[in-house]
């Protein structure tokens, strides 16, 4: 979603058909456009966001370095969290196998999984290792014509998503394995880990959601993955149940980095909100009205709170009949929680859904909250590859220094 049009609430995307609401949560069909940042197309053709036409809107980060510059620096200097780099393929062969199934290089098409505003996602099986992969398919010529900011096209968003995923490796984040970009063809492919499970809200619904035990398990995974992103100065920008996938063994993985941003340091100020209306933080709703920036990490944390509310109660905390009504409720309405709710859970939701971002809980405190810890204990600390490498270098340097002083 683009900026809120100074409370005229104009959309940056033209929606032909809308993805359904959070899985298992009943909603008024007229409200469904408030529940998703992308739209879905039942056919194999694409549709795309329209030009925002907002010449006065600059990029998310200015005059600081753009995400692309920061990511390029990190990759050039080995500051990535991957033991093995993403495979980059610059030639593509599209054909059919002996059974008439379409193929892309080693990958054999099985069926379409879904579609978004920029392209579609298709399930493929690799003939090399026999595994299934989810492949995002884009048409470069279309995306290069779609301007999403004065100096950016929709293809810029795709390249940024790829660049971000190239530096990430975490058990609670969907993994990118290969990028296929043949300069002689119009297609661009992202070969992603296929999560053969469900969305976190499948099976949820009034009057009980998923229950506290399952909600706690899912939340712990989300917090772990998001703490990792924030520690690497990455703001996801669109945390919601539809972007949280559950594997067959119950592990939650964060997906879709199409609106994510990267920062050079801890200064995570953003100027416009790219997320989904019902998961948008109050300060993001107000950003156009008051002309100020907001902090992306705090906005991510608010979205975690809305997601937890959905998981537990099977509905949204603030949902109006229209976009403006929804934003009004997010900004002005009090958070209503059942009297019989677990006091610890109520305390956590009130901390996450605090309208003042300065008073809102931070993820480190969420991870230590009594309800989150529960009987499982503290969320395990994940030592990522780049930090392991850094600690090894520091240990090696310390050993050399100690030897020289002997």
**Residue 330 phi, psi dihedral angles, 5° rounding:** -60, -40
Phi-psi region of 285 (alpha: psi -120 to 50; beta: other; left: phi over 0): alpha
* DSSP, res 128: T
Locate all alpha helices (DSSP H) within 314-362, ordered by sequence: 323-332, 343-352
* Residue ranges of the binding site for ATP: 136
**Residue 183 phi, psi dihedral angles, 5° rounding:** -65, -15
d(CA 266, CA 253): 24
* Bridge partners for 188 per DSSP: 138, 181
- Please enumerate in sequence order all residues whose Cβ is within 8 A of that of 254, keeping only pairs 6 or more positions apart, or say none: 172, 173, 174, 222, 225, 226, 229, 236, 239, 243, 244
* Residue ranges of the binding site: 136
d(CA 179, CA 161): 11
Catalytic residue among 36, 157, 181, 238: 238
Tokens of 242: 């539809």
325 is annotated as an active-site residue:
no
**Nearest one of 223, 221, 349, 371 to 297, comparing CA atoms:** 223
Helices 282-290 and 323-332, packing angle to 10 deg:
110
d(CA 319, CA 366): 25
Tokens of 335: 């958070």
**Residue 120 phi, psi dihedral angles, 5° rounding:** -125, 165
**Reduced to 3 states, what is the DSSP secondary structure of residue 290?**
helix
d(CA 23, CA 28): 14
Q: For tokens 């992202």, name the residue.
A: 190
Return the active site residues.
238
């Amino acid at each position: 979603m683009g900026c809120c049009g100074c409370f005229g609430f104009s959309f940056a995307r033209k929606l032909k058909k809308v993805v359904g609401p959070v899985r298992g949560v009943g909603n008024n069909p007229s409200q469904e456009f408030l529940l998703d940042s992308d739209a879905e197309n039942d056919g194999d053709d694409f549709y795309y966001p329209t030009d925002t036409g907002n010449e006065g809107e600059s990029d998310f980060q200015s005059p600081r370095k753009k995400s692309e510059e920061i990511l390029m620096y990190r990759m050039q200097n080995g500051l990535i969290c991957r033991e093995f780099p993403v495979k980059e393929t610059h030639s593509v062969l599209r054909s059919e196998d002996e059974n008439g199934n379409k193929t892309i290089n080693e990958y054999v098409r099985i069926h379409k999984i879904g579609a978004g505003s920029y392209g579609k996602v298709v399930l493929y099986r690799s003939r090399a290792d026999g595994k299934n992969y989810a492949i995002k398919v884009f048409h470069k010529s279309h995306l290069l014509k779609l301007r999403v900011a004065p100096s950016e096209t929709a293809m810029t968003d795709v390249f940024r998503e790829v660049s971000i995923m190239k530096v990430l490796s975490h058990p609670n984040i969907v993994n990118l394995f290969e990028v296929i970009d043949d300069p002689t063809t119009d297609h661009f492919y992202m070969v992603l880990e296929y999560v053969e499970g469900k969305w976190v809200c499948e099976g949820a619904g009034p009057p009980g959601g998923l229950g506290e035990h399952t909600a706690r398990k899912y939340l712990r995974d989300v917090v772990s993955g998001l703490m990792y992103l924030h520690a690497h100065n990455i703001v996801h920008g669109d945390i919601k149940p539809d972007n949280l996938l559950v594997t067959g063994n119950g592990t939650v993985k964060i997906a879709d980095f199409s609106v994510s941003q990267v920062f050079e340091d801890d200064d995570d100020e953003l100027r416009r909100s790219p997320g989904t209306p019902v998961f948008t933080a109050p300060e993001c709703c107000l950003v156009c009205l008051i002309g100020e920036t907001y902090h992306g990490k705090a906005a991510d944390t608010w979205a975690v709170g809305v997601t937890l509310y959905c998981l537990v109660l099977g509905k949204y905390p603030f949902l109006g009949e229209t976009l403006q009504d929804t934003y009004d409720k997010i900004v002005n309405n009090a958070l209503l929680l059942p009297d019989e709710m677990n006091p610890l859970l109520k305390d956590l939701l009130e901390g996450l859904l605090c309208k003042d971002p300065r008073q809102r809980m931070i993820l480190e405190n969420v991870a230590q909250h009594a309800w989150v810890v529960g009987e499982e204990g503290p969320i395990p600390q994940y030592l990522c590859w780049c930090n392991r490498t850094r600690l090894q270098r520091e240990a090696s340097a310390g050993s050399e220094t100690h030897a020289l002083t002997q």
